[in-house]
DNA sequence: ACCTGAACACCGTTCAAGT
DNA sequence: ACCTGAACACCGTTCAAGT
């Protein structure tokens, strides 16, 4: 009654390791338990091997995390041509931020990891195309891309940090406390603006995007204004 | 010949623990070995005690690192009134960025830690005062502060990440590789702009600051332009 | 070439017990 | 109240050895 006697291993085909397989396992772990648990040791455990085995395909923990970020970036949606280029640009940036914001830990990672995967490149391509449609000269577009992406990423990271702050749920942040306790004589501007500083404001993001886009468009005209 | 027989400990006055003392030790460690070595265990070792002892004064590793960031921020210089407000604003931001840039690990920390120490508040006060001098309305100034500081921090973090990239010294980043290898048909804009994208450019920072400042000044006039 | 066990050199945080 | 030893539950990375 021996069945399949040609192999006596329990799981006859423990799949061979590969970068894709490792990334898949990492992604699974990420969705299940968050970025903090995506460690070399844990991913290796999922694949039923030791951490050392991963180093054939993955150079670093950072390498692994970058792969997760790019996978998530597949979820960035580009608004279809319903709106003008400015609207679509804002929509794209908002979608990018939404992805980062859904995963607080990811946002801060995006600040330091400098993604370079296929999905990130697609996002870059989309933004460049929109700027081109808006008449931004190529040389300016490259710098504008940086400005827009940097702002969106940083803003998402900040919001995410605020969201994930286990620090003091009631008082938004220690900054709030510091501002409210600010010495009115030494820090008159902070005292006077304390309300505005802590408002957060619903249209702040839209305001910022317009500041950036208008600024870029204005810079186009007068290139050498010093 | 017994000298000072009233105590037989080697170091008769191991100084009592205090938040200040702990921060001082952490700062020392930071300057000596970098942020990565500023761990609870190592700081405790410097103070000749165990890690558990620190938790009376320090809530977190994050708490400890935030304290280091604020201490470093004491080095931010505000240009004296030689230039106009715009020049002084740019100078202040540049000085802030220079501090972060000197310590690569610190820059990325600044993105996620949301400083709230005395030196950070002083920086905020300075920027608000300059915006006020430039005629930016209070409500706008609060948002502009955020925009400027976020950009400066993010840019410093990005530069720092690039600087500290042990990844591939010859090829700046994997992004460079990805861009150069980009499929010309699928990613036409990236291909066309690849030179500009990788240039880095010397006046990029100045260009960005002007985009931001001009954008803020323009937003003041037409508050509800949609 | 690929995979692995085992080791090296660390971490943050908690807690019961002491002073 | 403050301080501590010891433990708990982990890390990343390397390397000699195996297949």
B174/B226 Cα distance (integer angstroms) = 39
CATH superfamily of A16-72: Homeodomain-like (1.10.10.60)
How near does any CA of chain A get to the CA of B128, in Å? 6
Q: What's the DSSP call for residue B134? A: T
| B169 has pLDDT over 70 | no
% of chain B with per-residue pLDDT over 90? 53
Chain D nucleotides with an atom closer than 7 Å to a protein C-beta: 2-7, 10-16
How near does any CA of chain A get to the CA of B86, in Å? 11
Q: Which two tokens stand for residue A47?
A: 């694949």
> Considering only CB atoms, which chain A residues are within 8 Å of B171?
none
How close are the terminal C-alpha atoms of chain A, in Å?
87
* Distance, Å, A38 CA → D17 C1': 28
* Residues contacting A188, CB < 8 A, separation 6+: B125
Cα–Cα–Cα angle for A69, B187, B189, rounded to 5 degrees: 110
Which of B189, B192, B223 should one mutate to test binding to chain A, selecting the residue with the greatest count of A CBs within 10 A?
B189
A223/A140 Cα distance (integer angstroms) = 9
Q: How confident is the model at residue A173 (pLDDT cuts 50, 70, 90)?
A: low
B144/A208 Cα distance (integer angstroms) = 8
> Considering only CB atoms, which chain A residues are within 8 Å of B124?
190, 197
B209/B206 Cα distance (integer angstroms) = 5
CATH number corresponding to B78-218: 1.10.357.10
Residue B198 parent element (H or E): helix B188-199
Whole-angstrom CA distances from A37 to A28, A40, A61, A68, B8 are 11, 9, 11, 13, 49
pLDDT at residue A197, as a whole number: 82
B3/B21 Cα distance (integer angstroms) = 29
Identify which of A141, A155, A188 has the shortest CB distance to residue B193: A141
Is B55 within 7 A of strand D by CB distance? yes
Residue range B155-162: mean pLDDT, rounded: 76
Q: Give me the residue spans of the domains in chain A.
A: 16-72, 78-218
| B225 has pLDDT over 70 | no
pLDDT at residue B89, as a whole number: 96
Q: How confident is the model at residue A8 (pLDDT cuts 50, 70, 90)?
A: very low
- The residue among A10 and A18 whose pLDDT is bigger is A18
To the nearest whole number, what is the mean pLDDT of chain A? 83
| B90 has pLDDT over 80 | yes
| A166 has pLDDT over 80 | no
Total residue count of chain A as it appears in this document: 226
The nucleotide whose C1' lies nearest the CA of A53 is C3
pLDDT at residue A154, as a whole number: 86
- The residue among A125 and B1 whose pLDDT is bigger is A125
Tens-place pLDDT, residues B41-66:
999 999 999 999 999 999 989 899 99
Q: Which long-range contacts (CB under 8 A, 24 or more apart) does B161-168 make?
A: B161/A111, B161/A112, B161/A113, B161/A114, B161/B104, B161/B107, B161/B108, B162/A114, B163/B101, B163/B104, B164/B104, B164/B105, B167/A60
To the nearest whole number, what is the mean pLDDT of chain B? 83
Tens-place pLDDT, residues A35-84:
999 999 999 999 999 999 999 999 989 899 999 999 999 999 988 877 89
Q: What's the DSSP call for residue B136? A: -
* Distance, Å, A105 CA → D4 C1': 34
DSSP tally for chain B: helices H, then strands E? 10, 0
- The residue among A103 and B175 whose pLDDT is bigger is A103
pLDDT at residue B20, as a whole number: 95
Nearest to B95 by CA among B119, B65, B116, B112: B119
pLDDT at residue A224, as a whole number: 41
8 Å CB contact of B151 and A153: no
Q: Determine the 3-state secondary structure of B14 from DSSP.
A: coil
pLDDT at residue B6, as a whole number: 34
* Distance, Å, A224 CA → C7 C1': 61
pLDDT at residue A134, as a whole number: 94
B136/B217 Cα distance (integer angstroms) = 7
Instruction: Mean pLDDT check: name the lowest of A37-46, A168-177, A207-216, B127-136.
Output: A168-177
Q: Determine the 3-state secondary structure of A21 from DSSP.
A: helix
| A135 has pLDDT over 70 | yes
Q: Are B148 and B93 in contact (CB under 8 A)?
A: yes
Residue range A78-102: mean pLDDT, rounded: 90
Q: How confident is the model at residue A10 (pLDDT cuts 50, 70, 90)?
A: very low
| B179 has pLDDT over 50 | yes
| A11 has pLDDT over 70 | no
pLDDT at residue B2, as a whole number: 37
Chain centre distance of CA B175: 24
Which of A58, A158, A173, A182 should one mutate to test binding to chain B, selecting the residue with the greatest count of B CBs within 10 A?
A158
Q: How confident is the model at residue A112 (pLDDT cuts 50, 70, 90)?
A: confident
Residue range B99-119: mean pLDDT, rounded: 82
Nearest to A63 by CA among B167, B24, B155: B167
Sign of the four-CA dihedral A121, A69, A146, A214: positive
| B139 has pLDDT over 80 | yes
């Amino acid at each position: 009654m021996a069945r399949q006697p040609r192999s006596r291993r329990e799981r006859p085909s423990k799949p061979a390791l590969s970068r894709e397989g490792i990334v898949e396992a990492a992604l699974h772990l990420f969705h299940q338990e968050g970025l903090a648990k995506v460690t070399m040791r844990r991913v290796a455990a999922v694949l039923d091997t030791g951490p050392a085995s991963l180093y054939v395909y993955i150079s670093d923990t950072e390498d692994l995390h970058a792969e997760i970020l790019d996978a998530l970036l597949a979820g960035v949606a580009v608004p279809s041509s319903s709106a003008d280029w400015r609207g679509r640009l804002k929509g794209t940036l908002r979608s990018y931020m939404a992805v980062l914001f859904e995963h607080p830990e990811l946002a801060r990672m995006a600040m330091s990891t400098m993604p370079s995967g296929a999905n990130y490149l697609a996002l870059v391509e989309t933004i460049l195309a929109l700027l081109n449609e808006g008449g931004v000269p190529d040389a300016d577009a490259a710098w504008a891309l940086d400005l827009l992406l940097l702002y969106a990423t940083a803003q998402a990271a900040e919001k995410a940090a605020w969201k994930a702050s286990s620090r003091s749920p009631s008082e938004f942040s220690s900054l709030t406390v510091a501002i409210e306790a600010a010495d009115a004589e030494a820090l008159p501007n902070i005292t006077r603006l304390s309300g505005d500083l802590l408002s957060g404001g619903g249209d702040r993001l839209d305001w910022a995007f317009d500041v950036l886009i208008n600024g870029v468009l204005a810079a186009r005209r007068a290139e050498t204004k010093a």
